[in-house]
Structure 1
Amino acid sequence: MNQHTFQVLDYHKVKEEAAQFALTAEGKEKIIHLVPSTNLKQIEAWLGEVSEAVEIIKKSSSVPVHGLEGMEQLLGGLNKGTALRPDQLSKLLEFLDCCGKMRRFMKDKEYIAPRVSSYVEAIEELPELAAEIIRCIRNGRVDDYASKDLLRIRKQIEIQNDRLKEKVQQMVRSNKYKMYLQENVVSQRDGRFVIPIKKEYRNKIKGTVLDTSASGSTLFIEPEEISNFQEQLLWLFSDEEAEVQKVLFYLTGLVENKEQQLRLAAETMIHYDFLFAKAKYSRAIDGRAVMINESQYINLKEARHPLLGKQAAPLNLELGQQEHALVITGPNTGGKTVSIKTAGLLTIMAQSGFHLPVGEGSSVSIFQKVLVDIGDGQSIVDNLSTFSSRIINIIDILKETHDQSLVLLDELGSGTDPKEGMALQRQF
C-alpha cells in the first residue's frame, strides 16, 4: 500500500473518526498509525477481536480504560538515577487501580469474548507496590508517616516554627520596636519571617533587609535576634528534603523492580483502548465482520461508504469469480466515483481489521497492493496538464501492479480527445 492510495481513498479520515472513540492519547495514536496487513490469519484475528469487543460493549458500554496519562513518561524515566515525583507515584497508583478494575470487568466476559477477556491475564496484580504508595504518598506529598525519621523531623520543624512565630510576635508587641513599625503585622519573604519597619528607622534595627514596599517607605527586615532561629529551621527543612528524597528513591526502586510487569500492563491497557475504539466505531457505522479470502473475490452487499453514513446509497458489487475487471458507466453525479472509492476503502479497512458497513454475506479479498487513479492530479508546480499528470500516475500503476493488485481507475482518458482516451482504455 502507498500513501497516495490512502490519501485518495480517505483512509486517514476513517482512522481519525475511529480514533475519536479512544479514551487515551496512546490509543488514539495506535489507531492513527494503523496500516493494512496482507496476512490472512492476522486479519481474521483482528476482525475476531473487534467482534468480541462489540459483544462486550453490548453488555456493558462502560469499559474501565483510563489511568494511562503520564505513564509513558513515567516508565521512560525509570533507571535513570532520578526519583519519581509524588504526583507521578499518584498517577501510577491510579493506573494500578484502573488495571484492577479491568481485571474485575473482564472476569465474567470469557463466555462472550474468550480471546479478548484472556488478554487481562497479562496485567499482573501488584498489591504490595500499591500498598506502599498508599502508605507513603498522600494528598500529593510524601506523608509524615512514610518513615520514622521524616515524622521526627517534621515534628521538630513544627516546634521550631512555633517558637519562631512566638519570638517574632513578641518583638512586634514589645514597646522596644513599637515606634519603628509601619504596622503590627508579621509576614514572610522567601520563607523567612520579617517585620515591616519605617524607612527612616532602618539603622535602629539590627538585621537584614529582605524586601521593600512598592513606595519604598517600608522595609521588610529579618531582625538579627531571630536569624539563628531561622537558620535552625532551614537546616531542618534540608533534613526534611533529604528524607523525602530517601522515601521517593525507595518507592522508585520498588517501581523499577516491577518495570517489566508495568510495561506489559500499560501495553495491554493501550491495546484494550485501541480495540474498544474500533468496536465503538463499528457500532457507529453499523459495521460487521466480513469473510476474508485470498482468491481476489469481492462480494459487497448493501455496502455504504463509511464517511457518508446513512446518506450513502447502498452498493452491491461482485467481482473475481468469472470476471476480473468491471466497467461502471452512467451519467455525471450518478455515483460512479463513490462506488469505486467505496470498494477500495472497504478493502483497505478490512485488511486493517475494521468492521465494514455492509450486509450479511459480504466478502473481501486480500490484495498486496491497492492502486488508484481517481480525480484531477494536475500539478501546478511541475506544470503538468490534467491528462499528462494522470498518464504519469497510470505508468507508475502499470509498473507496480501484479496479479495480487486491486486497480481502481476513474474516468480513464479524461482530459484528452475522446478517441485517444478510448484507445488508451483498450490497453487495459
Structure 2
Amino acid sequence: MEASDLIFKTIEKLELGKILAQLKDCCSSPLGQDLVERLEPTTDEEEIKVRQAETEEACRLWRLFPDFNRAGIKDIRALVERAGVGGVLTGEELLQVASTLAAGRRLKKTLLQVEGAFPILKSWASRVGEFPRLEERIARTVREDGEIKDEATPKLLALRQRIYALQEKIKEKLEGYLRSSEIQKYLQDNLYTIRAGRYCLPVKQEYRNQIPGLVHDQSASGATLFIEPLALVELNNELKRLAAEEEREIEAILYSLSNLVGGEKEELTRTLQALARIDFILAKGLLSQRMDAVAPSLNTTGRWKIVAGRHPLLKGKVVPITLWLGEDFDILIITGPNTGGKTVTLKTLGLFTLMAQCGLHLPAQEAEISVAGPVFADIGDEQSIEQSLSTFSSHMSHIISILSQVRPGTLVLLDELGAGTDPTEGAALGMAILDYLASQGAKVVATTHYSELKAYAYVTSRVENAAVEFDSQTLKPTFRLLIGTPGESNAFIISQRLGLPEEVLKRARAYLSEEQVQISQMIQALAKDRQASREALLEAEVLREQAKEIRERAEKEWEETLKKAGELLEQARREAYDLIRRVKLEVREIRKQVERALAEEGYKDKIKTLDKVRTQLGLLSKEITDKALEYQPEVNGVPPVMVSPGERVWVVALNQEGQVLTFPTSQGEVLVQVGSLKVNVKLDELRLLPEKREKSKEQGRWVVQVTTRSLRPEIDLRGLSIEEACHQADKYLDDAYLAGLKIVSLIHGKGTGALRAALHRYLSTHPLVKSFRFGNAGEGGSGVTVVELK
C-alpha cells in the first residue's frame, strides 16, 4: 500500500472529514467551502506555520468583532467564466455578480480599516478588486426582481410605452365584449385571458360560431374554447411584433452587460480567489472559537504534549486527556478495560496532529504537536470511538503496510496490538513490531491487554506504560489517562463485585500460570515503587516551591527594607543641603550688614566682630557640606566589570558605601560589607569609588579660608564633582567678596569641559559676579576662569 493510501485511510479512521465538515459550516460562501474541500494535512513546517498564523489572526479578529459581517458573497465563478467566452447572463445572474462585487468591496474596506496587526487578512483584502462602473451599470439597468428596467435604453422605453398603449387599447375592446349582454351568454366566464401570447375570450363550445375569430386553445374538458376575436387579430399581431422587438432589445442589453463582465474576467477571478481565502481564514478562526480551542506550538523533533485535550467529536461532558510523547519516552503502551477510553486517546492524539497540520486550533488547555512526519493508524475496519471490531489478519496486513512506509518523525497509532491470535504469539509479535518502529525513529502509541507488553515497557528504554483509570467501586472506567501506571483487566474484581462465588474465583486464580502470576506481581511491585518515587518527587517539588516562595518573600521584604533605607538617606541628604542653603542666606544677610557698617564710623571694630561671625559660619557651612557629601560621593557612573575583595564601592540600592568581601559568583553577585550588614549585591548595582576621594576633599579644604588676610586670589576645583565644585566656588566667592577682592581665579582644568561649562552656567546667575572670562596665556588659559566681582 502506498503512503498516500495509508494517509487517506488514517484520515478516514481518525474522522478528520467530520472536522472539515464543521469547518465548511463556518464558511459564509461556497468559495470558502471549496477551499475546505481541498484542505489536506501537510508535513511542510513553513506551510503549517502560515496556516496557523492565518487561524490565529482570524481568532483575534473575531474576539475584537464578534458580529463581523462577511455576508453577501456568492459563487459567481461559473458566471464569470461563461461571460468571458461570450455567453449572455440573465438579469438574475447579473444581480448575483453585482451583489457579490458590492459585498467584496464592503469586506475589503472593513478589513483595511480595522485597527491592529492583521497583516495576512489585510494582504488578501488588498487583492480584492473594485468595479464601481460595472456595479453602477447593472444597478441602473436591472430591477431587484431580475427584470430589465424600462429606462435601460431609450429604445426599450419607447417600445414599452407603445406596448402599454396597445395593451390598453386591446383591453378596452375586450372589456366592451364583456359588458355586452349579447356576448356574455356565449362566454364560460366573464373575463378575458391570454393564450399563446394573444388576448382571447373563453367561449362555450356550443357557441363557437357566434363569435368569429381564431381558436388558440381549449380547456381540458373541451367545454371551453379560447377564441381571439377577429377585431383583435391585427392589434394582437402588432402587440406580438412589438414584444418580439422588446425581447431583441433586452437581449442586446444583457449581451452588453455580460460583455462588461467578461472583459473583467481576469481581475474578477483574482478577486474571487481573494474573497475565497478571506472566507476560509475567517472560518478557521470561527471554528476555533466554537471549539474553545488554542493555537498549538509546533516542532519537528518528535515531541507531543496535550494538556486537558477534548476529542472534538464527542458530545456532552468530555473527560479531558493529558498525555505526552517523545520527551522521556518514544513509545507509550496503554492498557485498561474495554470502553475505558484507550481508543479515544489514540484518536485524540492522531486527530490533533492532523488538525495542526491543516492549520486548525486544538480543543485543549495547552498543546504542542510534532508536524515533521505523517500519521499512520491501525484501528480496525469497523472501528468507531465506542467499539473495536477487527480481525487479526486485517490488523496485520495494515501494520505490514505501515512498517513499509514508516520513517523518522512518523506517528504510529496501534489499537489492540497483537490481538486476534494466540496471546503468547500476539504479545511476541507486538514487542517485535514496537522494536522495529523504534529502530526506524517512529513515535508510537499502542493499546493492549497483554501483560507481556506491560512488562516490556518496564524493561525497555524509551518505552512507558499508561492506563485508563477504573473505578473499582462503581465498576466503571473514569476515562482518565494515568501515564507511568500499567492498567489491569480487573476481571476478578468485576466478577467478585457482580457476585461470582469466591470458590470459583479461587479456582480461576489457581488456573493462572506461575509465569503470569510472577509477571503480575512484578508489575504491581514496579508500579508501587514508581508510585512511591513519584510521591517523593512530588513532595520534594512541593517543598522546593515552598522554599522558593519563602525566599521570594524574604527578597521582597529585603528590597523594601533597602528602599526605605535609601529613602531615609536621601531625606537626610536633602535636609543637609537645605541647612547649607539657609546658612548661605544668613551669610548674604551679614554681607549686607557689613556694607551698611562700612558706611558708618567705627567700622573697624565691627569688622573684627564680623570676622568672628563669618569664621564661625564658614566652619559651620564646611562641616555641613562635608556631612552632606557623605550621602553623595563622587562615583563612577558605569557598573564595574570585575571587583576584588577589599575594594570600596558605592551600593546604589542602599545609597551607602561598602567594602567588597568576595569575588563575583557565576551569577555576577558579590558579598559586600555595609556597616554591620553583609549583603549579596549584583555587579550592575555597584559603582566604583575613585581612590582620589580623600585627596579631592583635602583640595577642597585648604583653599577654603575664612580670614581676610589669608584668603588666596584663586581656588583649585580640579578633581571635584560638579556639585561639590559649584558649592566650593560659591563659598569662595562669598569669602572673596567679604575680603574685598575684586579679581579671583577659578582653576577647573581643561579635561572634558563639563566642569568648566557647569561653573560658567553657575557664574552667569551669581549675584556677586560682574563678569568672567578665560585666563590669558600667563593666567592658565582655558583651564582657568577669571572672575570680576561687583
TM-score, length basis structure 2: 0.51
Q: 1:87 aligns with which of 75, 88, 92?
A: 92
Q: Contact 1:211 / 1:219 at 8 angstroms: preserved in 2?
A: yes
What SS is found at the alignment partner of 2:332?
Answer: coil
- Residue 348 of structure 1, CA deviation: 0.8
Deviations 1:251-309 (A, max 9, x none): 11111111222222222222222222211111122111111111112222222222236
What SS is found at the alignment partner of 2:293?
Answer: coil
The aligned residue for residue 199 of structure 2 is 193
Unmatched 5+ stretches in structure 1? 379-383
* 1:156 to 1:375, Cα distance in 2 relative to 1, 3 A: same
What SS is found at the alignment partner of 2:39?
Answer: coil
Q: For residues 190 and 151 of structure 2, what CA distance do their matches in structure 1 show?
A: 37
The aligned residue for residue 420 of structure 2 is 415
* 1:387 to 1:250, Cα distance in 2 relative to 1, 3 A: same
* 1:346 to 1:168, Cα distance in 2 relative to 1, 3 A: same
Q: For residues 375 and 69 of structure 1, what CA distance do their matches in structure 2 show?
A: 41
- Residue 377 of structure 1, CA deviation: 6.2
- The one-letter code matched in structure 2 to 1:298 is W
- Counterpart mapping for 1:218-297 below 5 A: 218-297=224-303
- Residue 47 of structure 1, CA deviation: 0.7
- Counterpart mapping for 1:16-415 below 5 A: 16-139=21-144, 140-173=146-179, 177=183, 180-181=186-187, 184-308=190-314, 311-360=317-366, 362-375=367-380, 386-415=391-420
Larger mean CA deviation between 193-202 and 41-50 belongs to 193-202
* 1:70 to 1:223, Cα distance in 2 relative to 1, 3 A: farther
Q: Contact 1:53 / 1:275 at 8 angstroms: preserved in 2?
A: yes
Q: Contact 1:50 / 1:279 at 8 angstroms: preserved in 2?
A: yes
Q: For residues 8 and 85 of structure 2, what CA distance do their matches in structure 1 show?
A: 38
- The one-letter code matched in structure 1 to 2:305 is N
Q: For residues 47 and 238 of structure 2, what CA distance do their matches in structure 1 show?
A: 67
What SS is found at the alignment partner of 2:335?
Answer: coil
Q: For residues 259 and 253 of structure 2, what CA distance do their matches in structure 1 show?
A: 10
Higher relative contact order (CA 8 A, sep 6+): 1
What SS is found at the alignment partner of 2:217?
Answer: strand
Larger mean CA deviation between 116-125 and 366-375 belongs to 366-375
What SS is found at the alignment partner of 1:193?
Answer: strand
Q: Contact 1:373 / 1:394 at 8 angstroms: preserved in 2?
A: yes
Q: For residues 306 and 195 of structure 1, what CA distance do their matches in structure 2 show?
A: 68
- The one-letter code matched in structure 2 to 1:273 is D
Q: For residues 213 and 374 of structure 1, what CA distance do their matches in structure 2 show?
A: 67
- The one-letter code matched in structure 2 to 1:407 is V
Larger Rg: 2
Deviations 1:40-86 (A, max 9, x none): 11111111111110111112123332333351332232234321100
Q: For residues 63 and 407 of structure 1, what CA distance do their matches in structure 2 show?
A: 41
Q: CA RMSD in A?
A: 2.4
Q: For residues 344 and 189 of structure 2, what CA distance do their matches in structure 1 show?
A: 81
Q: For residues 418 and 333 of structure 2, what CA distance do their matches in structure 1 show?
A: 14
Unmatched 5+ stretches in structure 2? 384-388, 435-790
* 1:402 to 1:119, Cα distance in 2 relative to 1, 3 A: same
Q: For residues 31 and 229 of structure 2, what CA distance do their matches in structure 1 show?
A: 56
Q: Contact 2:86 / 2:259 at 8 angstroms: preserved in 1?
A: no
Q: For residues 375 and 232 of structure 1, what CA distance do their matches in structure 2 show?
A: 76
TM-score, length basis structure 1: 0.91
- Residue 178 of structure 1, CA deviation: 6.0
What SS is found at the alignment partner of 2:159?
Answer: helix
Q: For residues 369 and 342 of structure 2, what CA distance do their matches in structure 1 show?
A: 20
What SS is found at the alignment partner of 2:327?
Answer: coil
- Residue 376 of structure 1, CA deviation: 6.0
Q: For residues 158 and 255 of structure 1, what CA distance do their matches in structure 2 show?
A: 32
- The one-letter code matched in structure 2 to 1:243 is E
What SS is found at the alignment partner of 1:62?
Answer: coil
- Residue 169 of structure 1, CA deviation: 3.0
- Residue 370 of structure 1, CA deviation: 1.0
* 1:44 to 1:188, Cα distance in 2 relative to 1, 3 A: same
Larger mean CA deviation between 258-267 and 221-230 belongs to 258-267
Q: For residues 320 and 185 of structure 2, what CA distance do their matches in structure 1 show?
A: 92
Would you say how many aligned residue pairs link Structure 1 and Structure 2? 422
Q: For residues 118 and 110 of structure 1, what CA distance do their matches in structure 2 show?
A: 14
Q: Contact 1:110 / 1:117 at 8 angstroms: preserved in 2?
A: no
Q: For residues 30 and 108 of structure 1, what CA distance do their matches in structure 2 show?
A: 26
What SS is found at the alignment partner of 1:117?
Answer: helix
- Residue 332 of structure 1, CA deviation: 3.5
Q: For residues 300 and 201 of structure 1, what CA distance do their matches in structure 2 show?
A: 89
The aligned residue for residue 381 of structure 1 is none
